[in-house]
Amino acid sequence: MKVGVVGLGLIGGSMAKAIHKKTEHTVVGWDMSETVRLSAKLLEAVDEFMIDGNPKDCDMVLIAVYPQATVDYVLKHAKDFKKGAVVVDCAGIKRLVCRGVQQAAEENGFLFVGAHPMAGIERSGFNFSSEKIFEGATMILTPYQGADIADVNKVCQFFKSVGFSRMQIATDAEHDQMIAYTSQLAHVVSSAYIKSELSPRFKGFSAGSFHDMTRVAKLNETMWTELFLENRDYLADEIDGLVERLQAYSKVIREGDADTLKAMLKDGKEKRLAVDVVKEFD
């Protein structure tokens, strides 16, 4: 089948490369940047390009652009999608996207499935894309309530063919709440942590913890600003909860309360050990 990939950045470019190298599907790419399009063609990530981004001949369309841009693209091309085509987004938040295009999908006869590939690096752009980035990763799918199970299964099988090891099904709200905790909060903490006046003097005073804590501070600020603000309710709640927990640690440390601190640290250790026994892949 013809698989369109809209947006050839890190995720879209990696999708195009993985589909091209691991399947027999034809990859029809599109990116606003002519430079990126030329690079994608030169590196054989795509077989051909859409004309002005029009997805009319594609059996499946993967959209890998920012959330609001995804909604705008789907609404602009709602009448251009092939009847029965499967349209999948790869944005990091789901409520804005899924709820923004549901009516258009129903009215124009294409299937829309929200998706979020749990893979990536602290770099962005086509130059850092790789067909290997999804190997062993989880793909979260947020199909509409009442979606045909057979259609969803086809989407699952497609993503497994390009390297994903596990499919996680969730509602759009469940996705956004969990991602606020497992991903977005970590990026906020990393960004705040590196701003200590001591950070420039880290050399010689760190093992792995400093680098672990600061790695994801090397983010794409434009993209993450949109992700944070469009998920502000869940993310702000997670930030407030973390601040409250940190203040509890600060209080017992300032007071020199060894017994309480030891109990708090033990509780944290036990919760982490409990996480260790949960298998990511069955």
- The per-residue pLDDT for range 199-241, each reduced to its tens digit, is 999 999 988 899 999 999 999 999 999 999 999 999 999 999 9
Q: Tell me, what's the pLDDT at 261?
A: 98
Question: Do 115 and 56 fall into the same domain?
Answer: yes
Question: Do 194 and 143 fall into the same domain?
Answer: no
Q: Tell me, what's the pLDDT at 279?
A: 60
Question: Do 261 and 145 fall into the same domain?
Answer: no
Question: Do 155 and 22 fall into the same domain?
Answer: yes
User: Does any domain span residue 281?
Assistant: no
Asked whether the whole model's pTM tops 0.95, one would answer no
Structural domain range at position 183: 175-276
Tell me which residue of 120, 127, 123, 124 sits closest to 35, measured CA to CA.
127
Q: What is the four-CA torsion angle of 198, 201, 206, 209, rounded to 10 degrees?
A: 40
Domain count, the chain: 2
User: Does any domain span residue 217?
Assistant: yes
Separation between Cα atoms, residue 52 and residue 54, nearest integer Å: 6
3-class secondary-structure state, position 138: strand
User: Does any domain span residue 282?
Assistant: no
Q: Tell me, what's the pLDDT at 92?
A: 96
Question: Do 98 and 222 fall into the same domain?
Answer: no
Picking from 150, 170, 190, the residue at the C-terminal end of a domain is: 170
Q: Tell me, what's the pLDDT at 280?
A: 60
The full DSSP string for 76-98 is: HTTTTSPTT-EEEE--S--HHHH
Question: Do 156 and 215 fall into the same domain?
Answer: no
Contacts of 57 (CB under 8 A, 6+ apart): 2, 28, 82
Question: Do 156 and 227 fall into the same domain?
Answer: no
Tell me which residue of 164, 161, 7 sits closest to 91, measured CA to CA.
7
Write the CATH number for 212.
Answer: 1.10.3660.10
Picking from 170, 190, 215, the residue at the C-terminal end of a domain is: 170
Write the CATH number for 117.
Answer: 3.40.50.720
Question: Do 197 and 138 fall into the same domain?
Answer: no
Question: Do 121 and 244 fall into the same domain?
Answer: no
Question: Do 41 and 83 fall into the same domain?
Answer: yes
Q: Which residues of the chain have pLDDT under 70?
A: 279-282
User: Does any domain span residue 151?
Assistant: yes
Amino acid at 259: D
Question: Do 70 and 144 fall into the same domain?
Answer: yes
